[in-house]
Chain A
Amino acid sequence: MSSATRATDWRFATVAAIAPETPRAATLTLDVPGWRGHRAGQHLDVRLTADDGYRAQRSYSIASAPEDEKPQITVQELEDGEVSPWFVQVAREGDRFEVRGPFGGWFVWDAAQTEPLFLVAGGSGIVPLMSMLRHRRNQGSAVPVRLLLSVREPDDVFYARELETIGAEVVITYTRRPPAGWDGYARRVDRDMLQEVALLGGRAYVCGPTTFVESVADLLIELGQAPADIRTERFGGG
């Protein structure tokens, strides 16, 4: 099967490892037969099947680097979600479910690109951007990069330890509850913050909930970033 596997073929993935990322999110490492890598920023589709035959399908961004042998996804549990709670609360090593992919050719970054990179994430929107940061680190890319991450509170930061050594300037703003003694940003991303933080003139990637992405993309245009150099990915639904 492996040599003939196409991205569109459904196959069974096995959970090789699972680790809590935050109290409400988990990172799963997957064994996928015939997996031939991905481009940083791409997603895969998953399909879960209940005993009564009911199936549910979702798309999840890939968190791992293209260089990693096994793809990883990080899933944030959504209130009233149907699929995400299974990944966070139920899944354990050895569980199997269907996947296919990778998919998506727009919200991707390759280390061959030379323009400065400005990444903006709202909450779990960091997942595809983390794949880009890991790719950049693995390839030894010298492209200037800055990540602006907006989260409600410290518990919402994915990959917190790895971000310290990822080789990027990481700026975090806490919109609800900053850590004790915090003297950094503690508000929603606004024009002043972007003026101080944004790397303009290169390529910007913005990922998060719709209202967040809309607002950040509009502000970046106001600050002079060319619309064609702003790539967005929005979360919606559950």
Chain B
Amino acid sequence: MSTRGFHRRRATADHGRLPPGQYLEGGFPVLSAGPTPRTPLSEWTFSITGEVDGERSWTWEEFQALPRETPTVDIHCVTSWSKFDTTWEGVSVDTLLEDVEPLGGYVTAFCDGGYTTNLPVEDVTGGKAWVVFGYDGEPLEPEHGGPARLLVPHLYFWKSAKWVRGLRFMEYDEPGFWETLGYHDRGDPWLEQRYQGD
């Protein structure tokens, strides 16, 4: 049933690129549960911990020396905006796991400010996820997750955890911050998995 007097106002040329219920956004809105943490780069580290055959940790300088990629991807926020062709710079999670054997099937990304999000290992491996520190040719701004955030563009953007400091591999799936508060455990935008129960 249609809504009386409601009409499309926006051109949606790339219809096949827009997941159900999403609209195209030109700006870059911000969604966070709390204040923006600011960690000095001298104190920043990135760690691989938990159920792995050997833990790893990088300082900011060491992290910068890793092989870089510049993915151009579409991103989809659960609040229903999408943004096409965003360009990032960072390190593939595959690169971080080159010398590490994950033993558990799940991973929790942990962050400054206490934020966490959970993902199956297969959603962060195989060229599907990065830890990025650059956006649109510039250092990633704190409000968008800088100095570094996770980038998992095939899932709703809350899975691309801001201010990320490491990945904890786990044997069990443990719901993260938003997942505990009623948001979907996996968050596939093409299946419109916004909330628990979707």
Contacts and interface: CB of A to CB of B under 8 A. Distances in A.
A54 interface: yes
B138 interface: no
Interface stretch (B23-31, B58-66, B100-108): B23-31
A107 interface: yes
A218 interface: yes
Interface stretch (B3-11, B88-96, B164-172): B3-11
A13 to B, nearest CB: 11
B33 A231 contact: yes
Nearest to A214: B143
B29 A210 contact: yes
B35 A230 contact: yes
Interface residues of B, number: 43
Contacts of A82: 8-10, 23
Interface string B142-167: 01000000000000000000000000
Contacts of A236: 25, 27-31, 79, 81
A232 B1 contact: no
A220 B35 CA distance: 9
Interface string A204-238: 00000010001001101100000110111011111
Main secondary structure of the interface of A (DSSP, over half): mixed
A39 B99 CA distance: 47
A91 B4 CA distance: 8
A71 B114 CA distance: 32
B190 interface: no
A97 B3 contact: yes
A96 to B, nearest CB: 7
A7 B30 contact: no
B7 A50 contact: yes
A6 interface: yes
Given A45-B80, A53-B2, A103-B182, 4 more contacts: A8-B194, A57-B80, A227-B34, A228-B34
23 contacts: A7-B182, A48-B6, A50-B2, A51-B2, A52-B8, A56-B23, A85-B9, A90-B6, A96-B3, A97-B3, A97-B6, A214-B30, A214-B36, A218-B35, A227-B113, A230-B34, A230-B35, A232-B32, A232-B33, A234-B29, A234-B32, A236-B28, A236-B79
Closest 8 CB pairs of A and B: A236-B29, A105-B181, A217-B35, A8-B197, A237-B81, A90-B5, A57-B21, A82-B9
Interface of A: 6-8, 12, 45, 47-59, 81-82, 85-86, 90-91, 95-97, 103-107, 210, 214, 217-218, 220-221, 227-228, 230-232, 234-238
